[in-house]
Structure 1
Amino acid sequence: MEVVTLAMEKGSVELGPNLLSGVSLPAAVVHEGPLNHNLAWMQRFAEAHGARLAPHGKTTMTPALFRRQLQAGAWGITLATAPQCRAAFTHGATRLLMANQLVGQANMAIVAGLIGQGATFYCVVDNHDNVRELGRFFAERGLTLSVLIEVGVAGGRCGCRNQQEILSLAEAIAGEPALSLAGLEGYEGVVHGDNPEAGIRAYAKYLVDVALELEAEQRFSEPNPIVTASGSAWYDVIAEAFQTSLLQEKFTPVLRPGCYVVHDHGLYREAQSAVLERRPDLHQGLEPALEVFAQVQSLPEPGLAIVALGKRDIGYDPLPVVLRRYREGGDPAQLLSVAGWEVTNIMDQHTFIKLPEGGADIKVGDILAFGASHPCLTFDKWRQLLLIDADLNVKERLATCF
C-alpha cells in the first residue's frame, strides 16, 4: 500500500504510523477518544439548557475540528477577527459570530466579502463612532450587517458600561439603515472580585434583564434575537441564567465556550472541577485531549533530563507537566514511571526536568507526553496537529489556520 507523507512545519509524518516509531517529535496531538467525548458532552449540555452552541474557534483555528463541532450539532462558530472568520468560512462554516468589534475598513471589506458570498455574520458594537462607520461602509455596498450590542463591566474589557449607554447605542443603530440590531453579547470572564461566582451570576442576570427590556421596547430588528455569553470556565452559570422560560420564548440563547473541545491539564481542568462542584448532576465532565510528545535529548548530569521541547512547541504559563513516558519503538501499553519528575524551566527548544533519586531507567530517546494549560497557547504554535487513537496510531492530520 502506498504511504502518504504529510509535510509539517516541524518535521514530517507518514499517515498511519505509531507515535512511538516513525513520527518526527516533538508533535502536538489530539486524542480521538477524549475529543469525541468532549464534542458530545458539551453539545448535550447546551441542548439540555435550551441553548445553541457556537464554539469559539480562536482556541484551535483548526477547520477539521470546526467541522466536527458543526457535525455534532453546533449552531455556528465564534471567531475573534475578520481574517479568522474568512478562514472558517473558506472551510465550510457559514454562520459566524465575531465576538469583537469590527474596526478598520480593511477588516470591514473582508466581512463584506463574506456576506456577499452568503455568510450569516454577526459582530459586536459598543461605540457610536464605530456604528456610524459601519453604517456608512455597508450602506455604500448595499449590504446589511447584523450587530450585537456588547454589554461590558466597569474595569473590564470592551462593552457598554451601563444601561443608558446600551439604550443610546440601540437608538444609534436604529438610525443606520444598513445595520440590524440582532441581539446582545457579553463575556463573563472579565468579571472578577472576592466572590467571582456571585459577580458572574449578577452579570448574567443583568445581561438577561437588559435583553428583555430592549425586546419589550421593540429595539431589535430581527426575530428571536441572540443573547450570548460564556467562555469555558463559567458556562454552567451562564446557561442557568439563559434557561428562564421568558428569555427562551423570545430569544436565541447562544453559549460560546472554546477550550472545552480539547480541555487541558491546568486552568480549565481546575475550572471544570468547580463546574462539577456547582453541578454534580453533570457527571464525568470533560477530558483532556491535547498533548505534546517529545523525546529526552540529553542526560548531562545526575538528576537532570533535558527534553527536546520548548516555548515554540507548547504553552508554558504555567509550566507544562509530564504525564507519561514510553520507550521509543516500544509498546504504547507499557508505561514507564514519571513519579516525582518536575519541569523546572523551559527555553525556546529545551525543557529542564528534575529527576528523583533512583531514576536510572531513563534513556536518551525516551518519549514523554506533556500536558499544558490553556490550549489556545499550544495550538497557535503548530501548522498541523495529529489525531491519534488509543494505541497512539496517527489517524488524521489537523491543519491549523493561524
Structure 2
Amino acid sequence: MKTAANAGADGRIDKGTVELRPDLLSGVSLPAAVIHEAPLAHNLAWMQRFAEAHGARLAPHGKTTMTPALFRRQLEAGAWGITLATAPQCRAAFAHGVRRLLMANQLVGQANMAMVAELIAAGAEFYCVVDGVENVRQLGRFFAERGLKLAVLIELGVSGGRCGCRDAAQVEALVAAIAEQPALRLVGIEGYEGMIAGGDEIAAVRAYGERLVETVRMLHASGVLKSEAPIVTASGSKWFDLIAEAFDKAELREHYTPVLRPGCYVVHDHKLYAGAMDDVKARHPQLQGELQPALEVFAHVQSLPEPGLAIIAMGKRDIGHEPDLPLPLWLYPLVSHPAAGSTPIDVSAWRTTHIMDQHVFLDIPQDAGIAVGDVIAFGTSHPCLTFDKWRQLLLVDEALEVQDSLATCF
C-alpha cells in the first residue's frame, strides 16, 4: 500500500491514497473508492454457491472490476475461469495468474490476434466467440501461420441486439466455415441475454436460454464440436437466475460445461442491480440470502454556497453516473458533530441533482446542519463505470480501517 512518502512518486495521480493513517475518514486522501470486506466476502460465496447449486461453472466477467486481487479471490472461491471483453484485458488477467480466459467477444484485428497468440503459446486456456464467416477465415489464417489452435464458440444473438448469429442458417454457415479452418476448434455455444427487452422479457430470456441449450445439443449430436464436454455459456448480472434454470439439466451437468458469467455481483450496487436482485428473489422466494452492495465512494463536503445546496468534492472523474446519478447513503459528521463523527447518519433521502468533472450538486434539507469537511458516502447504479475511474480501490473493514489497496488494470 502506498503512503504519503511515495504516493505519486512516478508522476501518476493516485487518488484515494493513505496519506496519514489507515483510518478511512481521517487518514486517506478523499475522494476514495471503497470496497467493504464483509459484503464482498458474502457476495463471492453467495454467487459461487448459486452456480454450483445449478450444476454450472462460474466465470465472472472481469471487465467489471479489472482488479487482479478480486480475480484471485473469485478463483479461490471456486470460479472456473475469468471472462474478459478484449485482448488487452485477457493479457492483463493472464499476467496476474489467470490461466483460463473466456473472451466473450469477437477477436478482431491482427494486433489483438497477436496478443492472444502469445497468451496461448505461453500456456493460456483461451476461448473467444465468432459470429461471421469472414472473421472465421481471418482467425483461421492467422493462427495456422503460427502453428496454434484457437478454441472458438459460436455466438447466438437476438434480433435488434448486439453481436451473434440471428438464425439457424447463419449458425450452419458458420459451422461449415469453421470446419474449413484446421487451426480453429469449435467447442461450444455462447450468448448474452442482456439485450433482450420489450414485451414479456422473462419469457423471452427463458426462450433464449432454451435456444442456447438446444443449439449446443444439436451441434454435439452432429459431431462438429471438438470437445468432450462442450461449453454452453451466457448470463449477465440481471437475468442470471433464468439462464441458470435453462442450464440446470442432468444431461448438461453430465456431458457439457455450462458456464455463467455475471460480473457486477462481486460488489453489487445500490439501485440498478439491487432492483434486479429483488426481482430474482420474487421469482425464487425459496432462495436463501441475497447479494449485498459493497462499493461506495467517500468524499468531503466542499462548499455550502446557499441554503439547501451542498457541493461535494467528487465528480464524473470519480464515480459512475449512468444510468443514475450518484446515490447519497451515509453522512459522517466529522466537523459538524465531531463527537459522533464516525457514526454514520442515513442521508438516502437526499438527492444528487447534477454532476460535473470534479463536483456533485447535492440537494439537502435547509436544516441539515452539516459542515464543510464532513464526509458523505455515495453508492452507484452499475458498478463498472466507477471501477474504471480508479488506479486503486481501498478494502476496508467494518470500522473503516483500510486493510488493503487493490490495484486496477484499465
TM-score band w.r.t. shorter chain: over 0.9
Pairing of 1:142-157 with structure 2 (within 5 A): 142-157=147-162
Moved more, 257-266 or 329-338: 329-338
The CA deviation at 1:15 is 8.6
What is the alpha-carbon distance in structure 2 between the residues aligned to residue 96 and residue 15 of structure 1?
39
Describe how 1:55-204 pairs up with structure 2 within 5 A. 55-204=60-209
The answer (yes or no) to whether the contact 1:18–1:393 under 8 Å persists in 2 is: yes
Q: Given the two structures, how large is their TM-score scaled by the length of structure 2?
A: 0.95
* Off by >4 Å, runs of 4+ in structure 1: 2-6, 329-333
Partner secondary structure for residue 21 of structure 1 = helix
Q: Which residue of 2 aligns with 1:354?
A: 363
1:337–1:82 CA distance, 2 compared to 1 (3 A): closer
Question: Which of residues 247, 254, 259 in structure 2 aligns to 1:254?
Answer: 259
Aligned to 1:226, which of 228, 231, 251? 231
Shift of 1:31: 0.3
In 2: Cα distance, 1:4 partner to 1:68 partner: 28
| Counterpart among 383, 386, 399 of residue 394 in structure 2 | 386
Count of residues in Structure 1 that have an aligned counterpart in Structure 2: 400
| Contact 1:124–1:150 (CA under 8 A) maintained in structure 2 | yes
The answer to whether the Cα contact below 8 Å between 2:325 and 2:355 also exists between their aligned partners in 1 is: yes
Shift of 1:335: 2.1
On the 8 A contact 2:104/2:128 being kept in 1, the answer is yes
The residue aligned with 1:398 is 406
Amino acid at match of 1:37: H
- From 321, 332, 338, the counterpart of 1:326: 332
- Tell me the distance in 2 between the aligned counterparts of 1:204 and 1:335: 43
What's the offset of the Cα at 1:217? 0.6
Does the 8 A contact of 2:152 with 2:188 survive in 1?
A: yes
Tell whether the 8 Å contact from 2:298 to 2:377 is kept in structure 1 after alignment: yes
Q: Give the direction of change, closer, same or farther, for the CA distance of 1:280–1:63 in structure 2 (3 Å limit).
A: same
Query: How far does residue 337 in structure 1 lie from its aligned partner after superposition?
Result: 5.0
Correspondence for 2:321 among 311, 316, 319: 316
- The letter for the 2-side match of 1:391 is A
Q: Residue 139 of structure 1: CA displacement? A: 0.5
Aligned mates of 2:136, 2:295 — CA distance in 1: 40
Deviation at 1:283, TM superposition (A): 2.4
Question: Given that residues 61 and 84 in structure 1 are in contact (C-alpha distance below 8 angstroms), is that contact kept between their aligned partners in structure 2?
Answer: yes
Shift of 1:195: 1.0
CA shift for structure 1 position 282 = 1.5
Code of the aligned partner of 1:215: H
TM-fit CA distance, 1:224: 0.1
Match of 1:44 in 2: 49
Aligned position for 2:298: 293
Deviates more, 1:340-349 or 1:392-401: 340-349
2:353 maps to a residue whose letter is T
The 1-side partners of 2:103 and 2:390 are apart by 23
Give the match for residue 382 of structure 2: 374
Q: Which residue is 2:352 aligned to?
A: 343
Deviations 1:69-97 (A, max 9, x none): 00000000000000000000000000000
CA RMSD of aligned residues (A): 1.6
CA separation of 1:56 and 1:306: change in aligned 2, threshold 3 A: same
CA distance in 1, matches of 2:123, 2:254: 28
Q: Deviations over 1:231-285 (max 9, x none)?
A: 0110000001001112222210000000000000111001111001011121221
**Residue 6 of structure 1 contacts residue 13 of structure 1 at CA under 8 Å; is this kept in 2?**
no
**Against the structure 1 CA distance between its residues 332 and 54, is the aligned structure 2 distance closer, same or farther, given a 3 Å change threshold?**
farther
Question: CA separation in 2, counterparts of 1:245 and 1:231?
Answer: 23
Structure 1 residue 339: Cα displacement: 5.9
Query: Is 1:34–1:262's contact at 8 Å kept on the other side of the alignment?
Result: yes
Unpaired segments ≥5 residues, structure 2: 8-12
Distance 1:93 1:16 in 2: 33
User: Judging changes above 3 Å, is the alpha-carbon distance between structure 1 residues 51 and 332 closer, same or farther for their aligned structure 2 residues?
Assistant: farther
Partner of 1:282: helix, strand, or coil? coil
Q: Letter of the aligned partner of 1:203 in structure 2?
A: Y
Asked if structure 1 preserves the Cα contact closer than 8 Å seen for 2:151 and 2:184, the reply is yes
For 1:104 and 1:226, the matched residues in 2 are separated by: 25
Give the 3-state SS of the residue equivalent to 1:396 in structure 2.
strand
> C-alpha separation between the residues in 2 aligned to 1:337 and 1:155?
42
Residue segments in structure 1 that go unaligned for 5+ positions in a row: none
Q: Is the 8 A contact 2:350 2:363 kept in 1?
A: yes
1-side partners of 2:299 and 2:121: how far apart?
45
In 2, Cα distance between equivalents of 1:37 and 1:118: 32
Q: What TM-score do you get using the length of structure 1 for normalisation? A: 0.96
* Mapped partners of 1:315, 1:159: distance in 2: 28
Cα offset, 1:48, TM superposition: 0.6
Contact 2:333 2:370 in 1 (8 A): no
Amino acid at match of 1:372: T
Q: Which residue of 1 aligns with 2:10?
A: none
Identical positions, percent? 65
Q: Deviations over 1:363-399 (max 9, x none)?
A: 1000000001110000001111000000000000010
CA contact (8 A) 1:296 1:364 kept: yes
2:14 to 4, 9, 18: 9
Residues 97-139 of structure 1 deviation map (CA, whole Å, 9 limit, x = unaligned): 0000000000000000000000000000001111011011001
Give the distance between the partners of 2:277 and 2:20, measured in 1 at CA. 34
Residues 188, 216 of structure 2: 8 Å contact kept? yes
